Amino acid sequence: MNGFPIISILTFVPLAGAILLIGLHSRQKGLARGLALGFSLLNLVLAVTLWAQFDPRSSGLQFVERHEWIKSLGAQYFVGVDGLGALMVLLTALVVPIAILASWRIDEKVPIFFSLVLFLQSGLFGTFTALNFFHWFIFWEISLVPAFFLIKFWGGTQRTAAATQFFIYTMVGSVAMLLSFLALYSVTGTFDFMELADKGRSGEIASQMIVKVTAWQIFNRDQLPLVIFAGVFLGFAVKVPLVPFHTWLPTTYAEAPTSVTMLLTGLMSKMGVYGFLRILLPIFPDQMRMVMTPLLWLAVATIVLPACAAFAQRDLKRMFAYSSINHLGYCLLGIFALAKLTQADASWNLQKSAVLNGVLLQMFNHGLTAPILFCFIAFLEQRSGGLRGVDDFGGLRKAAPVFCGLMGIAIFASLGLPGLNGFIGEFLIFKGSFPLATWATALSVLGLLVTAIFLLTMLQRVFSGPLNGKWSGLADLSWKERLIVLPALALMLIIGVYPQLLIGKINTTVIAMVENMKF
């Protein structure tokens, strides 16, 4: 694959597909659906090829493309992947075709809808592969635009308010991050993530800021690095989202078309976690340690409070929206625990490697499991005339046993049942985080307990008990619907039994990231 620009092709193939679909007439619905699915499957083939060709023995960047772009602004076209980037590229390529198939019944402005989905996929690929802030930020913002319009034009009754809230929250975070990186550039003269990480670990950024403090006359020498860190932190915290920056998410997930909710929870939330790992932790290790205790409290709140909120919900989409925040909170717990200052010895490296492997697996597993759960909710809405309340059903396993059985697999994967994909990521996070941040890890176990309670309660109320006579004729999953979810469910089982399928590819990257941390 040397010399073959597979990352550029991955990024721009869906963009070409989006442009092609825009040119179709609104009556060409079948062609639009077929082309969208075809482009997404082509990207899946390319992503699987990249994953297969990725060398798990190498800790450096692979498939690198680097070209000068706007030299006076320090902007380069610089892309490449390590284990983290390759995993997110694979996840994106897997989820988008599932979301397209789940939205097959969309009947309004079909070419534009699928064009926006492909446009969003291009932004996601660019975000997970770009390594220069100027280039990366373009794709970061590109992903916001199609998501806004997909919610705005195809969402529920409160779609306008939900889309506006989503846009404002995300834009505020992006502006804060942009200002912080402009300050970083004025200090360092580079937008290159790799160079900035080296300067952050060596303390060069902080020392160079001391010189700038006198010129800016705004902050003292200790405040300025922390303020710049806070701006970048806000941009990623909103996107994950981290409590208390999460209030846009439940309404947005509930009002968005279910296929769009699948993309939001499966992929766009990972942009924030990816940013914490790729940008915030390497560039601002000292600042993260300065505020480590507050960050851990926020991680605990992100795990426990949304789980409690999910238990109180009666709308299934809102329930799983809060559950999504809870599951991403485990990633944040692991990332913040990684910032702990430790001795550079093998025992601590082992714990941090366990945490980081767990975080990466949790990102992938949540990105696979959460969209499938929302897909099942879409199937249920289609059969019930739009109903999706916990109390609207009962005893559905008698009328639709296949539906209930397959959705049960996804629910237990989300619950972290051993043998399914959700278990190993959470286990590694808790195993490694406990010696690094004991009190926070112990408190976070409450999130596991509450999650188990509300998921099992939901299973009981919707699927068990006497069958509500209203749903005696509820149709089971068709063979087409089964084909949509079965590949993902099979992958949940495979990863649950054989997590080395992923760990074997990413472990060298994880070890290198841990060794590069400033102890």
What's the rounded Cα separation, in Å, for the pair 181 and 186? 8
Contact (Cβ atoms closer than 8 angstroms) between residue 142 and residue 123: yes
Q: Is the pLDDT of residue 221 over 90?
A: no
What's the rounded Cα separation, in Å, for the pair 35 and 17? 7
Q: Which of 410, 294, 282 is nearest to 356 (CA)?
A: 282
In this prediction, residues 146-175 reach a mean pLDDT of 92
Indicate the SS3 state at residue 242: coil
What's the rounded Cα separation, in Å, for the pair 218 and 284? 20
Which residue is listed with tokens 């699928």? 114
Q: Is the pLDDT of residue 218 over 80?
A: no
DSSP 264: I
**CB neighbours (10 Å) of residue 51?**
16
Which of 209-223, 411-425, 488-502 has the least mean pLDDT? 209-223
Q: Is the pLDDT of residue 382 over 80?
A: yes
Each domain of the chain, given as residue ranges in start order, spans: 291-519
Give the pLDDT band (50/70/90) at residue 485: very high
Extract the tokens encoding 78: 């610089």
Model pTM score = 0.94
pLDDT tens, 410-455? 999 999 999 999 999 999 999 999 999 999 999 999 999 999 999 9
What's the rounded Cα separation, in Å, for the pair 35 and 28? 11
pLDDT tens, 230-245? 999 999 999 999 999 9
In this prediction, residues 267-280 reach a mean pLDDT of 93
pLDDT score recorded for residue 344 = 66
pLDDT score recorded for residue 223 = 74
Q: Is the pLDDT of residue 211 over 70?
A: no
What's the rounded Cα separation, in Å, for the pair 260 and 263? 5
DSSP 315: B
Query: Widest CA span of the chain, in angstroms?
Result: 75
DSSP 471: G
What's the rounded Cα separation, in Å, for the pair 175 and 42? 34
Instruction: Write the DSSP string, 164-229.
Output: HHHHHHHHHHHHHHHHHHHHHHHHHS--BHHHHHHHHHHTHHHHHHHHHHHHH-SS-TTHHHHHHH
What's the rounded Cα separation, in Å, for the pair 414 and 488? 13
